[in-house]
């Protein structure tokens, strides 16, 4: 039995709790949030509840701590937890700076702790198939990749928390909304270098300190051109999240709103069967996020700790995504 704790009981913290409690090999030992009201449902369930992070870290039965706090706190909370003897599961983005990821890596090595970077879209069936087909060279030489992320984030979203929309706490759209897309791009195509980018804040000047729309040109290590477009200004609701791969032997488009369907395929001597879509998006009421595969994230943590399994997304991979995002932002300045 792996004993979990969670810090940050907002939307995503609740998602972690749900899947921990549904896993027979996991036990939700404790939760923490500075808002005592957020703890009331967990106290009713007789789960140890804390408003003090330091007090929670003294809970010796916690094996793994899920870090579900605002972006800018991920690194400091993860480091403190590892120094207290806990492995950590860190929500996206891993950090807002590569230097903070290096700090986490240093402490993980010193304390012999494991950092799990949450990138649950890697479990999406279309993404898994695309990865398999690319590894088998089914598409031939991939020369062009198109990424479209057209979502909606309205005033109510930014009014929910005082850290959202703040450059030093939120980081920007590539960190908060679209780091999963950067990760899948890296997962499928390997390392990337940003060539050129343009960004603007069209509709969120009143409540954000950064861009709401951008377009980037990147290059993969094998020379493929990548066009990455994003916005949080899609009218009224999320429209699309897609990745199109064009190769010498085939074309494949992963689409839907959350990389949850195969919208187009034309591959030499290959046809992908219809995929039964069982996973749903993370539904937060008036907005939706990426696919809800956190059950598989928790399963992977347990497999690694109990069976010496392979980490789906390591600290180094999470760090690489942060580095690519930093590079993209730098190309647009």
pTM, two decimals, is: 0.93
Look at 13-17, 201-205, 285-289 and tell me which has the smallest mean pLDDT.
285-289
Same fold, 2-117 and 121-291: no
Q: What is the pLDDT of residue 272?
A: 72
Distance CA 142, CA 129 (A): 16
Q: What is the pLDDT of residue 283?
A: 53
- Residue 289 pLDDT > 60, yes or no? no
pLDDT band at 50 (very low <50, low <70, confident <90, very high): very high
Q: What is the pLDDT of residue 275?
A: 58
pLDDT band at 287 (very low <50, low <70, confident <90, very high): very low
Q: What is the pLDDT of residue 98?
A: 98
Q: What is the pLDDT of residue 277?
A: 45
Q: What is the pLDDT of residue 105?
A: 98
Q: What is the pLDDT of residue 258?
A: 83
- Residue 59 pLDDT > 90, yes or no? no
**CATH for 121-291 (3.40.50.1370, 3.30.360.10, 3.40.50.300, 1.10.3720.10):** 3.30.360.10
Q: What is the pLDDT of residue 256?
A: 85
Q: How many CB atoms lie within 10 A of CB 206?
A: 9
Q: What is the pLDDT of residue 308?
A: 97
- Assign 3-class secondary structure to 20-77: HHHCCCEEEEEEECCCHHHHHHHHHCCCEEECCHHHHHCCCCCCEEEECCCHHHHHHH
Q: Residue 250's beta-bridge partner residues?
A: 247, 267
Q: What is the mean pLDDT of residues 59-75?
A: 96
Enumerate the domain spans of the chain.
2-117, 121-291
- Residue 288 pLDDT > 80, yes or no? no
Distance CA 111, CA 163 (A): 30
- Superfamily name and number for 2-117: NAD(P)-binding Rossmann-like Domain (3.40.50.720)
Summarised one tens digit per residue, pLDDT across range 80-115 is 999 999 999 999 999 999 999 999 999 999 999 999
Task: Classify residue 169 by burial, with Cβ atoms within 10 Å: 0-12, 13-18, 19+.
Answer: middle
pLDDT band at 278 (very low <50, low <70, confident <90, very high): very low
CB 111 within 8 Å of CB 219: no
Distance CA 240, CA 99 (A): 32
For residue 305, give the 3-state DSSP assignment.
helix
Q: What is the pLDDT of residue 113?
A: 98
- Residue 286 pLDDT > 60, yes or no? no
Q: What is the length of the chain?
A: 333
């Amino acid at each position: 039995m792996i004993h979990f704790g969670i810090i940050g009981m907002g939307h995503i913290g609740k998602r972690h709790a749900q899947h921990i409690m549904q896993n027979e090999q996991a036990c939700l030992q404790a939760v923490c949030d500075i808002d005592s009201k957020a703890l009331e449902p967990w106290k009713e369930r007789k789960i140890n509840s804390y408003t003090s992070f330091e007090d929670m870290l003294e809970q010796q039965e916690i094996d793994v701590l899920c870090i579900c706090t605002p972006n800018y706190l991920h690194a400091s909370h993860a480091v403190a937890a590892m120094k207290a003897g806990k492995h950590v599961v860190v929500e996206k983005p891993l950090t807002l700076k590569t230097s903070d990821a290096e700090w986490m890596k240093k402490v993980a090595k010193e304390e012999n702790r494991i950092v799990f970077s949450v990138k649950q879209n890697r479990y999406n069936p279309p993404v898994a198939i695309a990865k398999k087909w690319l590894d088998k060279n089914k598409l031939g030489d991939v020369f062009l990749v198109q990424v479209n992320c057209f979502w909606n984030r309205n005033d109510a979203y930014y009014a929910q928390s005082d850290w959202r929309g703040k450059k030093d706490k939120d980081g920007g759209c590539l960190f908060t909304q679209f780091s999963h897309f950067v990760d899948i791009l890296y997962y499928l195509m390997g390392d990337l270098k940003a060539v050129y980018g343009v960004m603007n804040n069209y509709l969120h000047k009143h409540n954000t300190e950064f861009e709401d729309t951008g377009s980037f040109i990147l290059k993969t290590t094998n020379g493929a051109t990548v066009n990455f477009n994003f916005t949080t200004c899609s009218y009224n609701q999320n429209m699309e999240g897609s990745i199109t791969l064009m190769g010498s032997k085939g074309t494949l488009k992963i689409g839907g709103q959350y990389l949850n369907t195969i919208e187009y395929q034309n591959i030499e001597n290959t046809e992908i069967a219809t995929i039964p879509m069982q996973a749903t998006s993370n539904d937060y009421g008036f907005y939706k996020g990426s696919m809800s595969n956190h059950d598989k994230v928790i399963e992977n943590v347990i497999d690694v700790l109990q069976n010496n399994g392979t980490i789906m997304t390591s600290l180094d991979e999470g760090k690489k995504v942060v580095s690519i995002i930093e590079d993209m932002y730098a190309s647009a300045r």
